[in-house]
Structure 1
Amino acid sequence: MLKTEKSCVASDSTITTKFGVRPPSTYSMKIQSLSQLKTLFSGTDGYKSRTFSSGKYNWRLVIYPNGNEKDNGTRFISVYVELDSTALESTVLAYLTFFVYNKKENKYFTIQDTEGKQFNALRPVWGFPRVLLLDTFSDPKNGYVFDGDQCEFGVDVMVPLTNWEVVSFTQKPSNPKFYLTIEKFSKLKEHCYVSSKFLIEGRNWVIKLYPKGYNATCSTWLSLFLHLAEGEIMKTGEEIYMQCDVRILDPFGCNHVTRKLNDNISNKGRGCLELMSLAKLANAYLDKQDSLKAEIEFDVVSTTKYS
């Protein structure tokens, strides 16, 4: 829906115009003598600002003080942005907002195209040929020309970020449980035992179990950690958020020991240094075949997509 105030002639439904406080501009330009600018650029040429940067690209603000006749802008102020495309290898998407200062209102008349424009080597210039009628703009009573013969223009060039990520959290993943059975637990001699791989939310995981504790400080405890499987590559600084329950199953009833993990998985594992004392485990949690059964159940797992 087009909203207009005072004298704007834009009629495209994708264009909005309004008076308001100054938008966060990429570049602004104050002209000390509008009449001289009109004299110097009386034909079909526009005045080009120095280059400014936005989105890692160089741009120029182009003002036609007598209107751009080639773009059907006769009798209007015409404004454009030009991309420096000399070293451009692809198309650049940008969203444009132009503004014109009105000292009488102490506000900025803005004109914005809500649809992004595709800048490339074949089309490096986009803008508006009909922003304000010259008669309206040039009359000091209207506030656009002030302090004798001054005026001010600006533009905000917003180039969307090219690097982004989308983070989602899956609750109760499909097949959220994994079971681990360690046989002849009392006779284990290795420091660490690694489970087979299991798949949760597109990632392969393993459980690392330490039957005599992770280190000397925990030598009387069973330690258990959750890791990404070997070959799973994470980007620098990437983390996976997860919630899960780690259980040591009671082989003779339902008195399972449960610990909740609520943490981020980076390149290091997460788990419990003191999951269960070895004395308690030997007393009640080994079955008749001297086997230990553990279970891990995922509640929430995050996934991240990058571009």
Structure 2
Amino acid sequence: MCSNVSSITLQSWRERPPSSYSIKVKNLSQLEISTLHSDGKYQSRRFSSGEYKWRLIIYPIGNEKDNGSGFISMYVEIDSTSLTSTTPTEVYADLRFFVFSKKENKYFTNQDVESRPFNSLRTMWGLPQVLALGKFNDRENGYLFDGDQCEFGVDITVVPPPTKWEILSFDEDLPYPKFSWTVKNFSDIKENPHTSDSFSNGGRKWVPKLYPKGYSSPHGKWLSIFLYLADGENKEDKNIYVEADVKVEDPRGSNHLIRNLYCWFEDQGWGYGWDHYVSIAELRKSYLDKEDTLKVKIEFKVVSATKYSAFT
């Protein structure tokens, strides 16, 4: 048995005993002799942690097959039958191994920083170099106490499968990207803002608004144009990204006025656009036809979409 994967570990001391399993050895020398007849290892009885069955495996003089010579090697093995009877059939777990020091009255801990995947093909993970034998066997360090006693342990924290997620995409191939709005009798409009009917694009409904008297100053000299999400279109707390061209058409030729919109719609009721899209003087000169009609077109380039888990 070997891990065959290099590990980065964190070493520390802890007063609290192991929470998953502990093995207290009354006679270490005899344990070492016994492991000569079991491929160098001692296997604990099965125990439960995180709804699965496990064994703690100790190599008291090191697992040579896993670069553990000169160290205490420790592993955990999941009972494969508990994998086949549960869903999912792959389990990720965080592992922390312990060796007690009576001198410190604490547990030396060596923790694998990576969560390890246990499955039917790979049932065992661990650390081949938990504690150097030189330190362990030096009685001044307190790992051996009361004659020939010692204690080992493990914490196994099963990592739950992801249940909260989202997938963000940016749709650049919109089926009907253009919206046209013809505003008749512009000079007679009293309301500020003047609102279009809603239209659909990118899976959302949108509402463009004109402010003939300006957005920030009701009697200003500018035409303001903003794009809003329709009411109720952002109940799910999504951020929606939009790239669009907003065009005021020149009725006499091709000198259209185009501005580019790049924005994230984050909150219900917020619009994005321009307070000073074009001056009213320039609008009357160049962009109203003889019937006092204004034509606005919006062409969507990109609209984001978010899929998410049912529970967030």
- Normalising to structure 2: TM-score of the pair? 0.62
Equivalent residues in 2 for 1:83-102 (5 A)? 94-98=91-95, 100=97
The residue type paired with residue 295 of structure 1 is K
Contact 2:43 2:55 in 1 (8 A): no
**Tell me, what secondary structure is at the counterpart of 2:25?**
helix
Aligned-partner residue type, residue 251 of structure 1: P
Taking the aligned partners of 2:296 and 2:167, their CA distance within structure 1 comes to: 33
Quote the Cα distance in structure 2 between the aligned partners of 1:293 and 1:110.
62
Q: How far 1:214 sits from its partner (Å)?
A: 2.2
Offset at residue 249 of structure 1 (A)? 0.7
Secondary structure at 1:260's aligned position in 2?
strand
The equivalent of 1:153 in structure 2 is: 154
Kindly provide the amino acid, as one letter, of the partner of residue 283 in structure 1: K
User: Deviation string for 1:231-267 (max 9, x for gaps)?
Assistant: 424324x321112121111111121112222111131
For residues 106-157 of structure 1, give each alpha carbon's deviation from its aligned partner in whole angstroms, at most 9, with x where no partner exists.
976899763569xxxxxxxxx75x979xxxx9x9579699821243423342
The separation in 2 between residues aligned to 1:175 and 1:305, in whole angstroms, is 21
Amino acid paired to 2:259: R
The aligned counterpart of 2:236 is: 235
CA distance in structure 2 between the partners assigned to 1:59 and 1:197 by the alignment = 53
**The residue matched to 1:175 in structure 2 has which SS?**
coil
Consecutive unaligned residues in structure 2, runs of 5 or more: 29-41, 59-73, 80-85, 101-108, 145-149
1:170-209 to 2 correspondences below 5 Å: 170-209=171-210
CA offset at residue 297 of structure 1? 1.5
Question: For the residues of structure 2 that align with 1:227 and 1:210, how far apart are their CA atoms?
Answer: 13
Q: Is there any run of 5+ residues in structure 1 with no aligned partner, and where?
A: 1-8, 52-57, 67-76, 83-89, 118-126
Distance 1:218 1:79, change over 3 A: farther
Aligned length: 254
Alignment partner, residue 251 of structure 2: 251
Q: Secondary structure at the match of 1:34?
A: strand
Asked if the contact 2:250–2:287 (Cα under 8 Å) also holds between the matched residues in 1, the reply is yes
Across the aligned residues of Structure 1 and Structure 2, the Cα RMSD in angstroms comes to: 4.8
Distance in 2 between the 1:279 and 1:111 partners? 66
Matches within 5 A, 1:271-282: 271-282=273-284
> Normalising by structure 1, what TM-score?
0.63
Instruction: Give, as a single letter, the amino acid of the residue that structure 1 aligns with 2:208.
Output: I
Corresponding position: 1:224 with 2:225: yes
Hey, what's the Cα distance between the residues in 2 that align with 1:247 and 1:144? 81
Task: Tell me if the contact between 1:184 and 1:291 (Cα under 8 Å) persists in the aligned partners.
Answer: yes
Q: 1:20 to 1:225 in 2, by over 3 A?
A: closer
Aligned equivalent of 1:69: none
Asked if the contact 1:34/1:150 (under 8 Å) is kept, the reply is yes
Please give the alpha-carbon distance, in whole angstroms, between the structure 1 residues aligned to 2:224 and 2:257: 13
Cα deviation for residue 280 of structure 1 reads 0.8
The residue that corresponds to 2:83 in the other structure is none
* Cα contact 1:223–1:272 (8 A) shared by 2: yes
% identity of equivalent residues: 30
